[in-house]
Amino acid sequence: MTAEDDGGVRSVLRAFDLLALFTEHRRTWAVKDLTAASGLAKTTVLRLVATCEQRGLLWTRPDGRITVGPGMLRWAQLANTAWQLPEPVRQVLRELARDCGETVNLYVRSTTALVCVAQQEGIRAIRHVGSVGDELPLGCGAAGRILAGAAEDTAVSHGEPEAGASSVAAPVHDGDGRVLAALAVTGPGSRFGTAEIPALTEAVTRASRRISRIGLGTRTE
């Protein structure tokens, strides 16, 4: 890789890192705050913002604050379409959440992270709450251990991704036996004791095998 290529890749990574600072809880930024949060020079931030604006990924409001641009709508719609799960798979998620009473998440691996691509909230008043699209470090929680290859059949975690949370996960395979995703039930650790784990493990394993037979059916055409 030439120095020019290396610089180009670095700029792309910086742009993605900058975009990642925009979240559901922080939708707009002042330039000075964006500069401080990114750790980049102000001139670099301004250059990256200008480039992203040209592609509609960012937008500077009349008050000077920066937010996500309208071009993101196309990417959001594309991702939603590409990762729309078949109805039979969604039915499995609903049934598992109903039977276990806990929140059900389906995760896939994305390089060094695991990403939630589907969720069915639990039916109990106190439950784990997350969002589709949430990212966790690879290896974090039961699902992370499955996707990192640290567990072949099922995994159990306590205190991850946050204190007080526990989860049980099992792998979803493709027709050739490769791990495609991890199916997990997550809830308060008080409901994931030694007496409850066996039944939760059996339910998650049974559901993951059903999904493996159905197939995720994510659209790649």
Residue 83: per-residue pLDDT = 79
How far is the C-alpha of 191 from the C-alpha of 183, rounded, in Å?
Answer: 18
Query: In this structure, what DSSP letter does residue 149 have?
Result: T
Residue 110's pLDDT band (cuts 50, 70, 90) = confident
Residue 2: per-residue pLDDT = 54
Give the total residue count for the chain. 221
Q: What mean pLDDT is predicted for residues 121-126?
A: 89
Residue 5: per-residue pLDDT = 57
Residue 48: per-residue pLDDT = 95
Our measurement of the distance from residue 95's CA atom to the centroid of its chain's CA atoms, rounded to an integer in Å, reads: 22
Q: What mean pLDDT is predicted for residues 150-157?
A: 88
How far is the C-alpha of 200 from the C-alpha of 106, rounded, in Å?
Answer: 16
Residue 221: per-residue pLDDT = 43
Residue 103 has pLDDT above 50, yes or no: yes
**What type of residue sits at position 185?**
V
Q: What mean pLDDT is predicted for residues 155-159?
A: 95
Q: What token pair was written down for 47?
A: 């250059």
Contact yes or no for 105/114 (Cβ under 8 A): no
**What percent of the chain lies above the pLDDT cut of 90?**
70
> What is the model's pTM?
0.77
Residue 219's pLDDT band (cuts 50, 70, 90) = very low
**50 versus 135: which is more confidently predicted?**
50
Residue 6: per-residue pLDDT = 65
By three-state DSSP, how is residue 71 classified?
helix
The domain made up of 3-71 has a fold known as Arc Repressor Mutant, subunit A (1.10.10)
Architecture of the CATH domain 83-214:
2-Layer Sandwich (3.30)
Residue 199 has pLDDT above 90, yes or no: yes
For the chain, where do the domains classified as CATH 1.10.10.10 start and end? Answer: 3-71
Residue 135's pLDDT band (cuts 50, 70, 90) = confident
* Average pLDDT score, the chain: 90
CA distances from 114 to 104, 141, 205 (A): 15, 10, 19
Q: What mean pLDDT is predicted for residues 1-11?
A: 66
How far is the C-alpha of 185 from the C-alpha of 142, rounded, in Å?
Answer: 9
How far is the C-alpha of 128 from the C-alpha of 80, rounded, in Å?
Answer: 23
**What type of residue sits at position 97?**
A
Closest to 151 in 3D by CA, of 184, 123, 191, 192: 184
Residue 3 has pLDDT above 80, yes or no: no
How far is the C-alpha of 98 from the C-alpha of 123, rounded, in Å?
Answer: 7
Residue 80: per-residue pLDDT = 79
Contact yes or no for 171/103 (Cβ under 8 A): no
